[in-house]
Amino acid sequence: MDSDSPAHLVYSDDLKVYEEDLVRLMGPDGPFAKVVNGYNGRPMQLEMAQAIAKAIVRCETLVAEAGTGTGKTFAYLVPALMWGGKVIISTGTRNLQDQLFLRDIPTVRKALVSPVTVALLKGRSNYVCHLHLARTAEYGRMATKADTVYLREIVKFAKMTDTGDKSDLASVPETASIWGLVTSTKENCPGMECPHYQDCFVMKARKAAQQADVVVVNHHLFFADLVLKDTGVAELLPMANTVVFDEAHQLPDTATTFFGEFFSTSQIHELCRDTQVEGLAQARDGADWVELVGKLDKASKDLRLTLPEGMTRQAVHQIAKQDKFIAAVEALRGALQELNEPLKAQAQRSELLETCRMRCAEMGAFIRKWLSLAKGEEKTEDVLWVETFGLSLQLHLTPLSIAEVFNKQREGTPRAWIFTSATLAIKQDFTYFASRMGLSEAESRTWPSPFNYGEHALLYVPRTMPLPQSPDYSDAVIEAAMPLIEAAGGGAFILCTTLRAVNRIAERLREIFREKELPFPLFVQGESGKTDLLERFRRSGNGVLVGSQSFWEGVDVRGDALSLVVVDKLPFAPPDDPVLSARIKALEKDGGNGFMDFQLPEAIMSLKQGAGRLIRDERDRGVLMICDPRLISKSYGRRIWQSLPAFSRTREEKDACEFLACPPAAEKAGS
């Protein structure tokens, strides 16, 4: 099929041929068996591929849950690449983007002998900016010796790379602060006025995406672009025949973030830096830039100091000293206005000064709007809330529901929309996910995991745990888990619902390992990057890893390195979260039940993700230990465990320890 032909013009009887081709290609004797080691034709994978083929041919929406081991990536890639046309694939993270682009799609192309072209598109902060690199090299004084070394590495890299993608420069960590100085944002990019425009890596990536048959993005980029029109996705969407969202369970929260609006004091810091550098370089006589920038920077810091240290999320009405906080926001707005005057007067002297003026004006406009809503001068259905971090603060304006606004994005040219993940349904019911995304008319299908959970996995709930609100709950978790950790010989994940629990459990494990002289390496979230922790955990073979939310999903450890997953509590979101609280009130106002209709489904989806860390391969086996007694004592507990895979179940510590210590009979016989 010609790559420019829209899928909706294909005759409906092509579907039968399409499905027959899938049987031939994905069967045990097909081309995949020649290019993928250990490939087996999986009936459920083929069924899923055929369902996706049908949605593509008919330009329909399909919500597809595929249990671990189904092979959902090939199930959507094969029909999408076979059919042709423009395909956009959106994944949960940049790491999954790279996996698709570097491994999965090349494998499918090879098997299909397909000539399709593929492009990887990331947000602009992932690409070196020639302009900001030159400015930093010329004017910048690095905060650390490490940044000075990193800057030299990036300068060399920019001269040799074709893509400018920072993930290709392994010698500079992706989290290094230097990247903020050598990449661009929408606000500080001069666009076509830039002297480096022809060599711009962001523009090259967009051009490649425009010309490619298949474009791989991530959810953050997809939704940020629909709102900001800044990275090229919005230009690609009208041409697309098929849009696939992998790890689609993340979409509601991601879309909510980007369909809302927010301001961060970090933007003030960047504006101050850029204005001072450019003002002194291009318009030194136009204003006392150092004084103006200093006032704005102080107003930003004073605003942060009105709220407690640490990370918090509060609705406006929850802020303890609301008058003082509102006054500080007013002062910040005033400092922005004071800087905006000389920026307007001097903007014509430099393209970057004009960019700074626009950023200053846009921030001021948002803060003015936010203040008006916070004071009740205007009405809104959105939620106003504040989030604090170590040194920064964000003002948020978040919609209660994104269903309507997302549906508007899906209007227009007919195309297929595929939503897939291992966790979209609750007891095979997709109502919760579909309602949040506005997909009430979508077809929904589920394919269970082919793994034998009944023989290979055991769900263990201890008998004597205290209630989760107990002050000594984390200590009780460790006391209950230690016999299993020892029986397993390490190889354990301990998944916590809070960072406080991570720190306490890690502290107790260090003490116990030292007292008992146990040889288990301990890996703790925050002590190193996620990728580094996982790699060292895998290599150790007998490690114990303690982590919170970021380790509940997107983590793949196969084999003996992981045979025990301990979940400290059922992952209910904190009820005082400002957005959650507002949604619950709105639900109950309309006659719904905030807990049963929102909090419980959210917890089930999260728990399914955590449970999914245990069995990643047909040879894996292990124990899922859920410490929370509410799984048994509360009426809703049955709904939770029935939504998990079909584990064998026990409440006896002895059974769990024996399961971990003793290989199954088949393994004994073969040894």
Strands 312-315, 383-388: pairing kind: antiparallel
Token match 């919170």: residue?
Answer: 548
Q: Are strands 214-218 and 240-245 parallel, antiparallel or unpaired?
A: unpaired
Q: For residue 666, what are its two tokens?
A: 């088949």
Tokens of 618: 């047909």
444: three-class secondary structure by DSSP? strand
Contact of 564 with 623, CB cutoff 8 Å: yes
The type of residue at 119 is: A
pLDDT tens per residue, range 44-60 = 999 999 999 999 999 99
CB 184 within 8 A of CB 202: yes
Residues of the chain with pLDDT under 50: 1-13, 665-671
Q: What is the CATH number that goes with domain 7-117+212-240+418-447?
A: 3.40.50.300
Helix axes 653-661, 473-488, angle to 10 degrees: 40
CATH of 261-398, one of 3.20.20, 2.60.40, 3.30.70, 1.20.1440: 1.20.1440
Euclidean distance between the first and final Cα of the chain, in Å?
Answer: 53
Using DSSP's 3-state secondary structure scheme, residue 452 falls into coil
CB contact at 8 A, 387 and 394: yes
CB–CB of 97/126 below 8 Å? no
Calpha distance 44→67 (Å, rounded): 10
Dump the DSSP string for 256-297: HHHHSEEEEHHHHHHHHHHHHHHHHHH-TTT--HHHHHHHHH
> What residues contact 377, with CB distance under 8 A and at least 6 apart?
none
CB atoms within 10 A of CB 374: 21
Burial of 571 (C-beta count, 10 Å sphere; 0-12/13-18/19+): buried
308 vs 312: CA distance, rounded Å: 8
d(CA 333, CA 345): 19
Instruction: Please tell me the distance from the alpha carbon of residue 585 to that of residue 185, in angstroms, as a whole number.
Output: 37
Q: How many CB atoms lie within 10 A of CB 642?
A: 11
For residues 246 and 75, the answer to whether their CB atoms sit within 8 Å is: no
φ/ψ (deg, to 5) at 428: 65, 20
Instruction: Give the Å distances, CA to CA, from 40 to 30, 33, 51, 450, 661.
Output: 10, 7, 20, 12, 30
Number of helices and strands in the chain (H, E): 30, 18
Q: At CA 543, angle to CA 666 and CA 70, rounded to 5? A: 50
Q: Chain centroid to CA 323: how far?
A: 35
CA distances from 101 to 90, 91, 218 (A): 11, 11, 12
DSSP 521-541: -EEETTSS-HHHHHHHHHHHS
Distance CA 115, CA 139 (A): 46
Helix (H, G, I), strand (E, B) or coil at 564: strand
Helix (H, G, I), strand (E, B) or coil at 447: strand
- The answer to whether residues 88 and 240 touch, using CB atoms and an 8 Å cutoff, is yes
> What does the block give as tokens for 256?
């909510």
Cβ contact 97:134 at 8 Å: no
What are the beta bridge partners of residue 416?
Answer: 242
Measured CA to CA, the distance from residue 367 to residue 265 in angstroms comes to 11
Query: Cβ neighbours of residue 517 under 8 Å, at least 6 residues apart?
Result: none
Which of 75, 180, 166 lies closest to 126 in space, CA to CA?
166
As a residue count, the chain comes to: 671
- Among 28, 9, 7, residue whose Cα is nearest residue 81: 7
DSSP per residue, 207-252: HHHHH-SEEEEEHHHHHHHHHH--SSHHHHGGGEEEEEESSGGGHH
Residue 489 burial (CB < 10 Å; 0-12/13-18/19+)? Answer: middle
Domain ranges of the chain: 7-117+212-240+418-447, 124-201, 261-398, 453-670
Query: What is the C-alpha to C-alpha distance for residues 347 and 341, in angstroms, rounded to an integer?
Result: 10
**What is the bridge-based pairing of β-strands 61-66 and 416-421?**
parallel
- Name which of 450, 605, 615 is nearest 75 in CA terms: 450
Task: Give the tokens for residue 26.
Answer: 């994905």
Could you give the CA distance from residue 452 to residue 471 in angstroms, rounded to a whole number? 38
Q: Do domains 261-398 and 453-670 have the same CATH topology?
A: no
pLDDT score for 4: 39
Whole-angstrom Cα distance, residue 201 to residue 158?
A: 10
Tell me which architecture the domain covering 453-670 has in CATH.
Answer: 3-Layer(aba) Sandwich (3.40)
Parallel, antiparallel, or unpaired: how do β-strands 118-120 and 261-264 relate? unpaired
Strand, coil or helix: 398: strand
- Do the beta carbons of residue 570 and residue 603 sit within 8 Å? yes
| Residues 164, 158 contacting (CB under 8 angstroms) | yes
Question: Do 104 and 89 meet the contact criterion of CB atoms below 8 Å apart?
Answer: no
- Which position has the token pair 């997809």? 222
Per-residue burial over 119-147, b if 16 or more Cβ lie within 10 Å, else e, is: bbbbbbebbbbbbbbebbeeebeeeeeeb
